[in-house]
Structure 1
C-alpha cells in the first residue's frame, strides 16, 4: 500500500509538539458550556435529503452523505469533503460500519459473534431539521439458537447543521424467550487505510499508528493481541510493540477518540456524551481505537472484569435497554491552521454534546428527554474518629445511581443504567438526568477504604428533584492505624512500576523530555512488565519493611508468579511485610484487623500467614478474579476488600512478619494488584 511517509512523520511531530494538558471530562457533571458552532465546515444546504433506493438509503445534510444498506442497516459509505468514502471501501460492505453482539446460551463456554442485521426498514421521521431511520431485527421461535433472542431496533439520526450523525439501539427480550448471556455489544467503524494513520485518544495519548500489514508480519508475543513490529511500512515504528489494549480507557475518560487524515486534513471522531448506558460504572476500562484503522464505542464487555460482568438474561424475564445515542463527528482543518486543530475541535464538539445531554431529538419513547428525568442532590461526609473528631467533607467522592443491590454491586451490574457524578470539595453533589426508576445510591471516596451505600432506595419520577440532605459514610475501621502501604484509590498506580524490557517498547508510553516538563506517561501500559518481577527478584521474593521501605520504590505493582529457568513453568511467590510492635496486650478475644484492598486479580488465591508459613494461614481466599488487567496493561480491574481478623495473642513484641502468598502458578498472567494494605490495632475509646 502506498502512502506519503514523510508527511505522516511531519504530522506526528506537529501533533506531539502541540499537546496540551490532558482533557479528562468526567461525565455528566460538566456544566455551563455554550454550544459551539462549527465555523470551519462548509455551510449546510437549506434542508435534509433522504434518498431511498432498492438496496440502500442515503441521508444527506449538505455536509456529508451517509449510506446504509437496506434493510440490514450497515453503514457502507460516508461521503465528506469531496472524499467518496471515509470507510474502508476494500472491505465487504458489512465490514465497514456495524453494530455487533457477542452472546451465548447458558452453559456454553464459547459464544458467537453476530453482526446485527435488520430485517425491516422504516422511516421514523423525515422533517426539515431531522431524519431518523429504523432498522429492526425481530426474533421468533423458528430462529432458535441461530440468532440472539432479542428484538433490536437500530436507529440512525441526521440533523440539519452538525457535520456528523447519531446512532442508538433499543434491545428487548420478551418473557418466555430463551435464556442467554451477552458478553459484548458495540458499534465499529473501519476507516480507510490509505487516509487515516494518526490516532488520538487524549492529549497525551496520540500517535502515528502501524498498518494492519505491520501486525500481520510482526512477531507474536505471549499474549495473543500483542506483536513486535519487525518490518513496518513506517520504519520509525520498527521494534515497537502494538497491542489494542494499550489504548484502553476508563468509561469516565473515554468520551472522544478517533483518527486524523493529513491529506486531505479530515478527522473522524467517536463522541460518547454519556456513560449512563455503559456497564461497570465510571472506572470500568474498555477499548477505544486501535490499528485498522478502527474506532469503537463499547457498551457491554468483559474487559478488565471477566465473567463477573456478563449480562445474564434468564427466567424468561422482560428486559429492555437503550444504548446511545453516540455521535460520529467529522471535521476539517481550518484553511489557516494545521491538522492539530482537528483534535482541539473534536474536544470542543464533545463539550457541546455533553451540554445537550440528554438529547431532545430521539424519536423513540424509550429514550426520555430531560423533562422526563430527575435529579438527586445531597452532601456526603466521612466519619472516622481515628482521623478527626469532626466529620470530613467527602471531597471528590464518586456518587452514583445504579440498580438496587448489595454494597459495591454496581461494579458488576450490567442490565440497567448508571448515573455518576463527583462531589465538590465540601462533599455536595448533584446527579442530573436520571431516568425514572428505582435505584440504590452508591459511592466511594478516593483516599478512604470501602464502599458507601445509602440505606434506602431512591425513586426517580419524571421531573423529580430528590434532596437526600446530609449523608454519613463510615469507612471500615476497628482501631488506630499501626501502619499502611499504598493509597486507598482502587488502583496500583502509586506502587513501583518498572521500566519495560527494551525489546517490548511502545514509544507512546516513554517519557517525553523535549520540553521543560516531562509529559506524564502510563508506564503500566507497556507490554511484559510482569516478567520484570523475576528479574528484580530472581531467587528471593519481595520484602517490605514498615518504616524503612517506600511503597513507590519497593512494592512491585503486581503480585505475580516467577518464571523458572526452563522458561515454561512458574513458581508461586510469597511477599513479606515486616513490622515491629512495641507492646501487645493479652486481653482475651482481642484482635488486630488487617485490611487488604485489591485493585485487580486474575485466577489467583491469596494466602495470609502470620510469623511463619508452616502453620495454617490466618486467611485464604478461594480462586478469585478474571479481570486480566495484568496481561492487558490495566492498573486496576474489579475492587475487592478483605477484612482479616488477627488474634492479638498471635503477635509478638518486636518484629512480626505477614506473609502474602499468591499460590496459583499455571500462567504468567495469574496474579493480583494490591490497592492498599493497613494494620489496625484493637478498638480503643476515643
Structure 2
C-alpha cells in the first residue's frame, strides 16, 4: 500500500482526489464519479458511457397517492460543491442540492447531501448521503434509491458474490435485439446469438443474481487480464429497508455493481417509503466502501491467481464490518460508536405442546426497529434497523444502535409467527441494556396432528424442479440455489398438465412431492386457478372441538388462497385470504418475499372419521406470476 500524501485538485468542471493508490474524478458540482484510476488502468468505469452514467447516486420517486412501484427516475445531480475535510489523512467532499417550492412536481421534496471520502493509504472510496425533509413539505413516495457503478465491459467479465455464486458473464451487447430474445418480462433475455458462442441458449436476468442482505456483504467484478478487482462492500444493513432477510439486486451484466438502500424488490408496493404532507424526516444512507484490489500491488511483486482477489475482497469486507460504525464521516448526522448503545439478553421459547421446559431460541433473528405492529419491521423503511442472531443458548447482543425509541422484534427458525416485546426500548449514548430472559410463546391452539415443511420463512425445502432446457443459467445447474433458474413457474403445468397436486400425509414427502410455488396453469390462451389437495386420516374426530389449520406463507403475489374442507365446491369457501401480496418473487427467482401467517378455524363437524381432504385453491388467475409460496402448514387438534 502506498503511503503517499493525499492530493486534491479542483478544476472548472471536475474535482480529483488522489492518494497514490487510486485517483477519483467527480463532476463538479453534479457529484457524479466520472473516472477511477487504479494501477495501470486510467479509468475502470465505462468510458463509452456519458460521464453522467458511470458512477452515481439515483432514486425513483412518485407523487403522494401514487400506487405501484414505478415513478420518475432521477440520477441525482447536485448544485453545490464543498470541501468538507482536507487533511493529511482524509479528503471528504460534499455535493448537495436543496429543495424549495419552485421545484414542486419537478424534483422530490428532499434536501440531499452526497459525500465522497478518500483516506490516506486506502485502496478504495467511501460514499454516503444524508436525505432530509423539512416540516411542511409536500408528501411523496420514495420507491428506490441506490448507488450504481458501470464498469468497462472490455475488462470486467468475471462476477462474484459468494463462493458458489461466481462466473464469467455475457456482454451487455448480447442482450440487444438480434442477439437477445426478450422473454416474459424485459429483464429476462434468452441469448440466441451472443458474441461468444459459449453463452448461446442461456438466460440472462439481473434478478438471478439477487441475494439476501444479511448474506451478501461484498460483490463485484474481476478483470482477469489485468488482475484487478472492483468490489462493493456493505459494512452494515442498518440503513436499508426491510430488515436483514430482505433480498435485493447486487451485480449483473453491464458490468454493473449496485449498492441498494431502498427498493420494492421482493416485497412490492408495501416496501415503498411513503411520506405524508408536512412530514419531517432525515436519514443517512451508508457509508459503503468501493474496494479495489490487484494481483500486483502497483505493478510490483509476483502476480497471483486473479481469483485470489475474491478471497481478498471477502477479508476486506470482514475488516470493514469490524470497523463499523466508522469514525471518519464528517457529517454530524452520522453517529459514531460513542453516541450509540447496546442491547443484550436471552430469548426462550415456551411451547407446551413441544416441551414442558423452555426451549432456547437457537438461531433466532432478533432486532430493533422503529415502533410498530408485530412483524412491521418487514416493510419499515423510514428509520434504522439493527439485527443479530442468537447463539445456541439463545443469547443475543445487538450493538452500535443509534439513539432513539425502538421495538424489539424476533422470529425463530423452526417456529411460526413473530415476537414483539411488550415494552419499547429507549437507546441513549453509551447505554448497555440487559433485557434478561425474554419468553416467546409461539401461536398455537393445540397439539400437531400433521405438518408439511419447515417453518423457516422460505420455500426452499420443497420440490424445485429442473428448468426447461431451453432456459438455462449454467451457474445454477446442480446448485443449492436452483430456484434462481428462469421459467420454473411453467414447470408446474408440465408436471400437472390436467390435474393438480395431491399430497397424502404419511405417504408423500414434501421435499419431492410438494411443488415450491402454488401457481396458475396456462390453458390455451388463458390462465386457470389451481386447487391442491391435502389428504389425511383421522382415526377419530374430537366432538364439539375446534381444529386449527395454520398457513405460513413465504410469499404471495396478487394471490387469493381459499380453503375448503371435504367439499371442493363449498361456496363460499370456509376461509379466504382475500387478494394479498405484491412480492413478484415467482418471476424474480426468489424463494421468499414478505411473510404471512393465517389461522383457519375448523369445526369438528366438518371432518369425518377416516380420510379427509383439505382443498387449497389459488383463485386469482389472470397471469403466470400470480401465486403463493408456502413456508409451512400445520393442522392442530382440539386442546386437551
> Is TM more than 0.5 here?
yes
Residue by residue over 1:197-221, the C-alpha shift from the partner in whole angstroms, topping out at 9 and shown as x without a partner, is 0000101000011101101121111
Structure 1 residue runs without a partner (length 5+):
1-41, 512-519
Match of 2:530 among 565, 570, 573: 573
* Residue 77 of structure 1: how far off its partner (Å): 0.5
Q: Does residue 1:463 correspond to 2:430, yes or no?
A: yes
SS of 1:71's partner is: coil
Q: Does residue 1:59 correspond to 2:17, yes or no?
A: yes
Rounded Cα–Cα distance in structure 2 between residues aligned with 1:99 and 1:362: 18
Match of 2:86 among 119, 126, 129: 126
2:234 aligns with 272
Q: Does residue 1:638 correspond to 2:594, yes or no?
A: yes
* Residue 172 of structure 1: how far off its partner (Å): 0.3
Rounded Cα–Cα distance in structure 2 between residues aligned with 1:329 and 1:349: 8
User: Does structure 1 conserve the Cα–Cα contact (< 8 Å) formed by 2:23 and 2:38?
Assistant: yes
2:312 aligns with 345
Rounded Cα–Cα distance in structure 2 between residues aligned with 1:315 and 1:209: 46
Rounded Cα–Cα distance in structure 2 between residues aligned with 1:579 and 1:154: 60
Aligned positions of 1:92-491 closer than 5 A:
92-109=50-67, 110-216=70-176, 217-334=179-296, 335-491=302-458
2:40 aligns with 82
* Residue 152 of structure 1: how far off its partner (Å): 0.2
- What's the Cα RMSD here? 0.8
2:621 aligns with 665
* Residue 107 of structure 1: how far off its partner (Å): 2.9
Rounded Cα–Cα distance in structure 2 between residues aligned with 1:631 and 1:292: 21
Bigger drift between 66-75 and 228-237 goes to: 228-237
SS of 1:411's partner is: helix
SS of 1:146's partner is: coil
Rounded Cα–Cα distance in structure 1 between residues aligned with 2:139 and 2:466: 47
Q: What TM-score do you get using the length of structure 2 for normalisation?
A: 0.98
Q: Does residue 1:43 correspond to 2:2, yes or no?
A: yes
* Residue 254 of structure 1: how far off its partner (Å): 1.8
User: Does structure 1 conserve the Cα–Cα contact (< 8 Å) formed by 2:370 and 2:407?
Assistant: yes
Rounded Cα–Cα distance in structure 2 between residues aligned with 1:661 and 1:132: 57
Rounded Cα–Cα distance in structure 1 between residues aligned with 2:477 and 2:588: 18
Q: Does residue 1:652 correspond to 2:612, yes or no?
A: no
Rounded Cα–Cα distance in structure 1 between residues aligned with 2:121 and 2:391: 36
Rounded Cα–Cα distance in structure 2 between residues aligned with 1:550 and 1:491: 17
* Residue 646 of structure 1: how far off its partner (Å): 0.5
Residue by residue over 1:136-195, the C-alpha shift from the partner in whole angstroms, topping out at 9 and shown as x without a partner, is 011111111111110000000010111001000000011111110001000000000111
Bigger drift between 226-235 and 395-404 goes to: 226-235
Match of 1:594 among 536, 540, 549: 549
SS of 2:141's partner is: strand
1:626 aligns with 582
Rounded Cα–Cα distance in structure 2 between residues aligned with 1:378 and 1:346: 33
2:472 aligns with 505
SS of 1:128's partner is: coil
SS of 1:532's partner is: helix
* Residue 341 of structure 1: how far off its partner (Å): 0.9
Rounded Cα–Cα distance in structure 2 between residues aligned with 1:44 and 1:542: 65
* Residue 315 of structure 1: how far off its partner (Å): 2.8
User: Does structure 1 conserve the Cα–Cα contact (< 8 Å) formed by 2:542 and 2:638?
Assistant: no
Q: Does residue 1:68 correspond to 2:26, yes or no?
A: yes
* Residue 336 of structure 1: how far off its partner (Å): 4.0
Rounded Cα–Cα distance in structure 2 between residues aligned with 1:398 and 1:421: 6
Q: Which runs of 4+ in 1 moved over 3 A?
A: none
Residue by residue over 1:561-586, the C-alpha shift from the partner in whole angstroms, topping out at 9 and shown as x without a partner, is 1011x2x2111100000011111122
* Residue 262 of structure 1: how far off its partner (Å): 1.2
Match of 2:513 among 532, 548, 554: 554
Rounded Cα–Cα distance in structure 1 between residues aligned with 2:51 and 2:2: 30
Residue by residue over 1:465-501, the C-alpha shift from the partner in whole angstroms, topping out at 9 and shown as x without a partner, is 1110000010111111000000000000000000000
Structure 2 residue runs without a partner (length 5+):
297-301
User: Does structure 1 conserve the Cα–Cα contact (< 8 Å) formed by 2:202 and 2:473?
Assistant: yes
Rounded Cα–Cα distance in structure 2 between residues aligned with 1:121 and 1:222: 44
SS of 1:415's partner is: coil
Rounded Cα–Cα distance in structure 1 between residues aligned with 2:133 and 2:475: 43
1:530 aligns with 489
Rounded Cα–Cα distance in structure 1 between residues aligned with 2:194 and 2:498: 38
Aligned positions of 1:4-23 closer than 5 A:
none
Match of 2:559 among 562, 579, 604: 604
Rounded Cα–Cα distance in structure 2 between residues aligned with 1:614 and 1:253: 45
SS of 1:196's partner is: coil
Residue by residue over 1:620-639, the C-alpha shift from the partner in whole angstroms, topping out at 9 and shown as x without a partner, is 01111001000000000000
* Residue 614 of structure 1: how far off its partner (Å): 2.1
Q: What TM-score do you get using the length of structure 1 for normalisation?
A: 0.91
SS of 1:122's partner is: strand
2:500 aligns with 541
User: Does structure 1 conserve the Cα–Cα contact (< 8 Å) formed by 2:30 and 2:78?
Assistant: yes
User: Does structure 1 conserve the Cα–Cα contact (< 8 Å) formed by 2:344 and 2:395?
Assistant: yes
Rounded Cα–Cα distance in structure 2 between residues aligned with 1:163 and 1:382: 46
* Residue 100 of structure 1: how far off its partner (Å): 0.3
Q: Number of paired residues?
A: 630
2:299 aligns with none
* Residue 253 of structure 1: how far off its partner (Å): 1.0
